[in-house]
Amino acid sequence: MVKKAFAVLVLLLFFMSIIAAGCLQGGGTSTSSPGNGPVSSASSTESFEYKALKLPPGNYTTLYLGEVLQGACPPGRVRVTFAYHPNGTNVTSVSVRGTFNDWKEWHMKEMADGSWVLRICLPPGTYQYKFFIDGKWVKDMSKVDPTADSYVADGYGGKNAVKIVKGERGLNLDYDPTDPAYFSIADNRTVIRFKVAPGEISSATLVTSFGEFKMEKQLWWSSGEMWRAEVPVVKPFKYYFRIERKGSDVLLLNNSAEPFFSFDGVDRFPQVQWVSKAIGYQIFPDRFYNGNKSNDVFALQSDELWLNEMSNERPILSNWSDPITPLNCCHQYFGGDIAGITDKLDYLSSLGVKLIYLNPIFLSGSVHGYDPYDYYRIDPKFGTKQELKKFLNEAHKRGIRVIFDFVPDHSGIGHWAFLDVAARGRASPYWNWYFIKKWPFKLGDGKAYAGWWGIGSLPKLNTMNPAVENYLLGAVMYWLNFGFDGVRVDTPSDLINADQFFSEMRKRVKAKYPNAYLVGEIWTLSPDWVSGDRFDSLMNYALGRDILLPYAKGSVGGEVTMGMLGKYYAAYGENVVAMGFNLVDSHDTSRVLTDLGGGNLGDTPKPDAVKRLKLLSTLLYTLPGMPVTFQGDECGFLGNKNHYDEQRYPIQWDKCNQSLVNHYRNLAKLRESVPALTSSKIEFYTAKDGVLAFFRGHHNEALVIANNENNATLIKLPEGTWKEVWPTGGGSVKGEIKVPPVSVLVLVREAEGG
């Protein structure tokens, strides 16, 4: 009898422990997995059998993240109202930017009384902010927002408003399944993440219809952490989160009526799969290579300076190695063309290039081509349509895709529609294609009509006019039909109806060409532009110039850089990260080697700058997304933007640094030989002094360790045995490793017993 009672007691204690753990329905005990794979017996098979999801019994704290109650905010948040009263002034757009959103733009809504209002939920704290009205910052917020708690100097001669949000700080956790930053399909996996304040939780589990998946702390920065799990299928399922906080389990549910979050299995923002495995290369055609000298003279015939009545300058045609002049930016031609690019395709293939981004090649009045005269006609100075077709065919034979540059915000003064307006005024059927302030006018007079940034040679197009929209989007489809593989869009944020225009562009393009690549020239961290309705990627200067370049210079250490990378990768969906157009420099910036202290055009690059270029390029090639090289960077060329845009000087091929070229070739081979480096996933490992270390691959198969200091640093390695594959094929290592100064190591995890 005593034995039976003891057995019952043991059994009771066993069930009580299961209930207390909240996992009676879980089907198994969770264990750690190095690859973020399934962690319960219910999900340990490859079939991932679907099972109806149930809430576990037991005494759990529950938080409803999706509860929609009138005036209610999620736990730990307080409703805050921002309001702007124009007092009779005509206003077309108002947004609020502040420390609560990293000074990004959150649009306010116009109310019936003419005021503009935004109501949001914020954690308790003190925040600075400003209104952004009709594209301009309010200089002194004390003059427009009397509801602020106080005002502080903004550092630019004005004042920011201060809002103090009072309340009890609870669990500060963000999750929105409609935002790609939190829910995306990447590399044919369902990726689910949430953001939480540092140290708020000690562990997390994603509980799904396919079993349980241990969540990893993927990213971190001073004010937040991103936790991640992936479900290795893209099928309908239900799910919720179980987290451990302050020693107790908390269930994060949808709402009281429908406690489980639900995914219907539909990928509404498909990843363009080929991008993450590609290497990109930007070509500025006039300065790349001259393959057909007979078309050089055509450059002078269409130049804008012949039409511009506000200028006495004249274009010039130079030999390939002539010195630059003050006209170098825009009206000094050197003869590069499409035939020249075709001639260099084998060279580009040797660099591993799989995508070419061409600066504008359509009829225009300048070297750069951002003042188009005809969106449907290739500029004769660059070649013929037959030469363009040959180039595309030869590129495609080598597995190289090509995207073209599209300029929808403005045309050039030589555009046939604008010339008709200039000649006929209101009688022109194209009068409403532009924003004319007075007529008659002189060509080039930026006061007579709206121009891009007020520049008279770049008259702004009225993209709200359906005829203009159809003309422009028709050109996009025309060139995709011709054989291009995608579009890079110039200054998209400057369009008067940017959201509507690019949403329509995406619909038209993706309906016919779902694998076409759409890139927008946005320089800042701007996730709104890549949320599934406009672009696949931005030009990621926010990664290359704002984060990687200062690190490569040695201006910031590993911990600061990791924090900046954390914010960057937390802002974007993992599918977007995989499609990243990642660059450091371009035709619009100084050359990266100059930025690194290597000197200016004509100088011999300083050895330390070359070493730091190798560090920077290796980081760019080992982060998620597609690394993009500006023509000639692989040769070690220099160029200061502030000296007549000398970064655009013609490539002097006979002066190419072959050692550096081989470095870029070897980087391409590295990416090809280590598949983890072309996956969508990054996970932080550690940062110390000048060292920055992160994992790559869905099972953390690769480890990248960078050191920007002039001293070697000893780093403890993750558990297991690792093999060095960059910069040399070293032997196996475990425990710790010494990272040489100004260098990057790439290690791959060896199989146990291998």
- Sign of the torsion angle spanned by Cα atoms 292, 295, 300, 304: negative
What are the tokens at 391? 């180039």
Report the distance separating Cα 120 and Cα 110, nearest Å.
15
Report the distance separating Cα 486 and Cα 392, nearest Å.
12
- The amino acid occupying position 40 is S
- Within 8 A by CB and 6+ apart from 174, the residues are 182, 194, 195, 196
- The amino acid occupying position 617 is S
Q: Using alpha carbons, list the distances in angstroms from residue 749 to 78, 217, 610, 668, 679.
A: 46, 20, 30, 20, 15
Report the distance separating Cα 242 and Cα 257, nearest Å.
18
Per annotation, catalytic residue among 379, 405, 409, 521? 521
Tell the residue number behind the tokens 């779902």, with chain if given: 514
Instruction: Using alpha carbons, select from 14, 193, 157 the residue that is nearest to residue 572.
Output: 193
DSSP annotation string for 598-644: --STTSPPPHHHHHHHHHHHHHHHHSSSEEEEETTGGGT----TTTT
Q: Are strands 150-153 and 159-165 parallel, antiparallel or unpaired?
A: antiparallel
- Bridge partner list, 224: 221
The DSSP code for 544 is I
Per annotation, catalytic residue among 405, 409, 469, 490? 490
DSSP annotation string for 38-77: B-SGGG-STT-------PPPS--EEEETT---TT---TT-
Q: How open is the CA angle 304-310-315, to the nearest 5 degrees?
A: 35
- Bridge partner list, 713: 739
What are the tokens at 32? 């750690």
- Cα 682 to the chain's mean position, in Å? 14
Active-site residue flag, 490: yes
Task: Assign 3-state DSSP to the chain and report helix, strand, coil percentages, each to 5.
Answer: 30, 25, 45
**Burial grade of 701 (CB within 10 A; 0-12, 13-18, 19 or more):** buried
The DSSP code for 341 is H
Q: Using alpha carbons, list the distances in angstroms from residue 114 to 145, 147, 398, 605.
A: 15, 17, 59, 59
Q: Catalytic residue numbers?
A: 490, 521
